[in-house]
Amino acid sequence: MAPNQLPSEGEKFLDHIAHWVPDLDAASEPLESLGFVLTPWSEQHASARPGAPISPVGSANRCIMLRSGYLEILAPLAPTPIGRELQAGIDRYVGVHLLAFGSSDTKAEQARLEALGFPQRPVVALRRKVETEGGGTATLRFTVGRAELGSMAEGRIQFLTHHTPEHLWQTRYLGHPNTAEDLAEVWIVVADLHEAADRYSAYLDLPADQAGPGAATIRLSRGRVSLFTVEGFRGRLPHAHVPALPFIGGYGLAAAEPARARELAEGTPGVVVHDSLPCASGADPDRFAAVLPGSAGGTLLFSRTGCLDPP
């Protein structure tokens, strides 16, 4: 298992993001060609409270496990409330719609957020079956606290607590040919930067720092969230597509050998590679952005730090 996946008391991690896609197979193909190792297809189940019946929620996923954090590819299966929520996001645009923060105590985060006036859905116990490295079967268990639908317009924003990290971060899924290692940064593009920075600062209970023109950054115990105006985002990624406002524009991955990731990206049909990005530093010469095809959506940055601006 990759180390350091569970935050200590008071810490908050950038845990994972999720692409919402109409077809898991179609979205998986370019990601595998990009050099990611994906976990097998898995259907998600949940119970509304401890001891309550567990039932399918209407979605399935595959994951890309990293040394720090992970990427999720999530698709609707049925017209359940969760399935309809996913489909509504996909109808808006295919790409990243979910941002999850790791906490040692999701229930405490929920209570804090409700006291601040953030509408929250009931905490749920999420479950799904996985095959273990030894060939057996295990149940992944998470406690998840989600913002009320529509209250965070950028997407599904949530806290979660992992209870079975040893079954999720399996060693066989951590060695990616593109050398990606860490989920370093996620990008949120908004119309009102000051409002969004204040809101996410309160949500995370962390300060938001100005990060150059049209940008603000919140540094977590692991990873960071960067917020941009459209102009600030395009100033850093000149070819970025902005399908709607607000939206989660993509994320940065720290890679041991970005040049290897570039070779794979340039050989992947439908992926558009952009380099010579503004703000590039001499210490990070190999960085580039990869725009994913419409089956997966979104933009990835590969670099040694995984950050658009200096970390």
More confident residue, 294 or 127: 294
Phi/psi at 228 (5° precision): -135, 150
Q: How far apart are CA 211 and CA 232, in angstroms?
A: 10
Is the confidence at residue 306, as pLDDT, over 80? Answer: yes
pLDDT of residue 201: 98
In the chain the domains, ranked by start, together with CATH numbers, are 13-173 (3.10.180.10), 180-303 (3.10.180.10)
pLDDT of residue 47: 63
User: What CA–CA distances, in Å, run from 279 to 234, 237, 287?
Assistant: 12, 10, 11
What predicted TM-score, i.e. pTM, was given to this entire model?
0.93
The mean pLDDT value of the chain amounts to 91
Over the range 11-44, which residues count as b (16 or more CB within 10 Å of their CB) and which as e? ebbbbbbbbbbeebeebbbbbbbbbbbbbeebeb
User: What CA–CA distances, in Å, run from 123 to 47, 53, 105, 127, 147?
Assistant: 10, 15, 11, 13, 10
For residues 288 and 295, is the Cβ–Cβ distance under 8 A? no
- In the block, tokens 């197979």 appear at 25
pLDDT of residue 48: 59
Is the confidence at residue 50, as pLDDT, over 60? Answer: no
pLDDT of residue 54: 73
Mean pLDDT throughout 126-147?
88
Mean pLDDT throughout 267-274?
94
Residue 117 identity (one-letter amino acid): G
Lowest mean pLDDT among 118-132, 204-218, 288-302: 118-132
pLDDT band of 101, cuts 50, 70, 90: very high
Is the confidence at residue 167, as pLDDT, over 80? Answer: yes
pLDDT band of 131, cuts 50, 70, 90: confident
pLDDT band of 119, cuts 50, 70, 90: very high
User: What CA–CA distances, in Å, run from 205 to 10, 81, 218?
Assistant: 10, 30, 10
Find how far residue 151's CA is from the centre of its chain: 19
